[in-house]
Amino acid sequence: MTVVVTGGNRGIGYAVCERLARAGERVVLVSRDRERGAAAIRVLPGEVDLVVGDLTTFAGVRIVAEELRRICPRIEVLVHNAGLWPSRRVLTADGVEESFAVNHLAPFLLNHLLEDLLGRVVQVSAGLYAKGKADPARTPQGLDFHPIRTYADTKLCNVLMLPLFARRWEDAGVTIDAVHPGVIRTGLGDRGGPVGLLLKVAKRFWLTPEQGAEPVVRLALEDKGTGRFFNVNQEIPIELDEELARRVWAQAAALTGAG
């Protein structure tokens, strides 16, 4: 079985790669940084391949998809793990806010570009999505940027796509679920200043990446449902605005050129 993991060179993504590789699965690690990606695959056991690509741009996502198609006749599981929690507003080359691009548009576009190869998709999400407010007129360009709230906003946009992809793929037999793996001690959200110092202290009490990988791996190896959201290992109902979801989908399709 081939499992693709984005952002697999560190944190939860690396721990997921390690668990799956030890279980005997073929792992394809997607990393933005070639040196860090190469360092990761040198120490991972089993059959592990590296794909280097920048998920902040549509062109970068398409390059990743092309390389995955070249080396993977079939992708039994695609784990969307790459994510950003920025402290300041940065626009990509495509003119969209960077975390909106990575957390929302990159998985959306990859799903479309690879859907004929897929068996299952697992989206590493965040419980904070419930605090998000998606504004299609402002969120894509970061006009409503906030160093904490924007992360929740982009995760909400991504979760809004969950039931729509589940319905789109129903006849094809492709399944998709999302999981909040817990509050994990990774580099996500690291920053300088007093806030950064407080965060560093707080992270000492958070779960390890290895603990965060467990519910992700469980869903990657399970194919018993679709369109579900899990808080660690517990399925929880999600109440989403269907009209907003359709607007966010249409906007993502227009921005990325996906069908």
**What type of residue is 247?**
R
**CA 194 – CA 244 distance, rounded (Å):** 37
**CA 249 – CA 105 distance, rounded (Å):** 10
Q: What phi, psi does 232 have (nearest 5°)? A: 60, -110
Q: Which is the catalytic residue, given 100, 151, 165, 230?
A: 151
Q: Cβ of 178: how many Cβ atoms within 10 Å?
A: 24
Give catalytic status of residue 129 as yes or no: no
Q: Quick check: 152 and 134 in contact, CB under 8 A?
A: no
Q: Cβ of 169: how many Cβ atoms within 10 Å?
A: 19
Q: Cβ of 138: how many Cβ atoms within 10 Å?
A: 14
The residues assigned a catalytic role are 151
